[in-house]
């Protein structure tokens, strides 16, 4: 076997059962036959997964480490996921905990098209976390949404995105809404000298969605909001890559994977490593301290997965969200460092009736926090 794909599974069982389940995973994920039926030496050596270890974990479970022949991923992101967690995702008590990919597999993916460095070039923000917001809610008149986006530009924000619920029934509605918001952002940037980016949400029938992406480029926008776990990881990868767009990934539906208890996929792997393979430049996640229940340890694993070395793939911005407010900015800056996007939605609208003034207050506080951190420990990279 060449340098293998190494998958680590958390198995809830006693020692004897955990060893049996580990062998079941190795066979089920590759040949999908009982062990007794697999006697061909080639299949046993080159196709069946190899159980490397089964060891106790701190939580009373066991960690099984299994090696897979990398050619079984067939150079496809969807097949990679199918290989390491396809059928066994339906078996109780098996959770995909970690994935170590050999260089040959990673090299088959382009990863983030812009990454942290590219987005800093686009926004002109080089020494602090970026500030992002969402235009919402659905149901507001288009001109009101456009006015919110323009006010965010006037306040000095970096990225304004559609809420993931802003979806149009057809292309004409998408063109009218996105065109109006894009025009408002362009005009506000011209008036202020700003470089705020607007990312519309791409959601349409599969046969139409490339038309939507082409329109985004036609009106001069540089990126989009995608929901990879709704669209499919490889569909999201293809959309952003084919049109040269920044890929801001929203975590909608991902909780079915990450919050599945003894099943599912580890938080940082699902929203960090796998999304980088899918070309995400920004990975939005619900952070501790907001309205969702996630732990600081989960958040830090995800942030690390976004930014740690992964072959030649560019690092991506982790983007904490989900109920962040002004009082939390110092903690957010300290926890995630300069290389993060801080996404604030409702709290930003509630901070001041003047949305431009509210945006300026948030950005100024982020700049103060970043300056303090830089004076203490240096302003490059993560703090």
What mean pLDDT is predicted for residues 123-150? 96
As a whole number of angstroms, the distance between CA 321 and CA 290 comes to 7
301-315 pLDDT, tens digit each: 999 999 999 999 999
φ, ψ dihedrals at 199, nearest 5°: -115, 105
101-113 pLDDT, tens digit each: 999 999 999 999 9
> How many other CB atoms are found less than 10 A from the CB of residue 116?
23
As a whole number of angstroms, the distance between CA 354 and CA 290 comes to 23
**CA angle 256–259–262, rounded 5-degree value:** 105
Catalytic residues: 136, 250
- In this prediction, residue 322 has a pLDDT band, given cuts at 50, 70 and 90, of confident
187-208 pLDDT, tens digit each: 999 999 999 999 999 999 999 9
Start-end ranges of CATH 3.30.70.150 in the chain? Answer: 5-106
Please give the class, per CATH, of domain 5-106. alpha beta
52-98 pLDDT, tens digit each: 999 999 888 999 999 999 999 999 999 999 999 999 999 999 999 99
Percent of the chain topping pLDDT 70: 97
> How many other CB atoms are found less than 10 A from the CB of residue 121?
12
pTM for the whole structure: 0.95
Half-sphere exposure of 297 (CA within 13 A, CB side): 1
Closest of 175, 181, 9 to residue 93, by C-alpha? 9
As a whole number of angstroms, the distance between CA 343 and CA 290 comes to 11
Cα maximum dimension of the chain: 73
As a whole number of angstroms, the distance between CA 111 and CA 58 comes to 33
Start-end ranges of CATH 3.20.20.110 in the chain? Answer: 115-375
Higher pLDDT, 97 or 261: 97
> How many other CB atoms are found less than 10 A from the CB of residue 171?
15
What does CATH list as the number for 115-375? 3.20.20.110
As a whole number of angstroms, the distance between CA 305 and CA 381 comes to 14
């Amino acid at each position: 076997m060449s340098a293998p794909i190494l998958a680590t599974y958390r198995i809830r069982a006693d020692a004897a059962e955990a060893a049996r389940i580990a062998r079941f995973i190795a066979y089920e994920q590759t040949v999908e036959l009982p062990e007794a039926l697999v006697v061909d030496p080639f299949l046993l050596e080159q196709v069946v997964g190899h159980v490397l270890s089964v060891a106790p974990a701190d939580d009373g479970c066991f960690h099984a480490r299994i090696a897979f022949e990398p050619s079984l991923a067939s150079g496809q992101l969807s097949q990679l996921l199918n290989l390491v967690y396809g059928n066994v995702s339906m078996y109780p008590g098996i959770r995909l905990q970690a994935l170590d990919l050999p260089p040959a597999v990673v090299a088959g993916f382009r990863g983030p098209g812009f990454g942290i460095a590219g987005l800093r070039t686009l926004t002109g923000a080089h020494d602090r976390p970026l500030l992002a917001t969402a235009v919402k809610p659905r149901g507001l008149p288009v001109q009101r949404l456009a006015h919110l986006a323009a006010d965010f530009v006037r306040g000095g924000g970096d990225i304004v995105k559609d809420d993931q619920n802003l979806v149009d029934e057809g292309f004409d509605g998408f063109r009218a809404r996105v065109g109006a918001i894009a025009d408002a952002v362009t005009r506000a940037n011209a008036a202020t000298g700003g470089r705020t980016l607007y990312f519309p949400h791409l959601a349409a029938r599969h046969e139409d969605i490339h038309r939507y992406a082409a329109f985004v480029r036609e009106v001069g926008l540089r990126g989009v909001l995608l929901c990879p776990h709704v669209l499919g990881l490889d569909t999201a990868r293809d959309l952003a890559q084919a049109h040269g767009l920044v890929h801001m990934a929203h975590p909608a539906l991902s909780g079915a994977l990450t919050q599945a208890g003894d099943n599912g996929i580890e938080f940082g792997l699902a929203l960090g490593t796998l999304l980088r393979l899918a070309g995400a430049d920004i990975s939005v996640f619900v952070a501790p301290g907001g309205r969702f229940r996630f732990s600081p340890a989960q958040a830090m694993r995800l942030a690390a997965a976004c930014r740690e070395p992964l072959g030649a793939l560019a690092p991506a911005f982790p983007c904490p969200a989900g109920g962040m407010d002004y009082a939390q900015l110092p903690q957010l800056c300290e926890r995630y460092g300069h290389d993060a996007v801080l996404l604030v939605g409702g709290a930003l609208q509630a901070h001041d009736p003047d949305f431009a003034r509210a945006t300026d207050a948030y950005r100024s506080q982020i700049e103060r926090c970043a300056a303090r951190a830089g004076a203490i420990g240096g302003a490059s990279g993560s703090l």
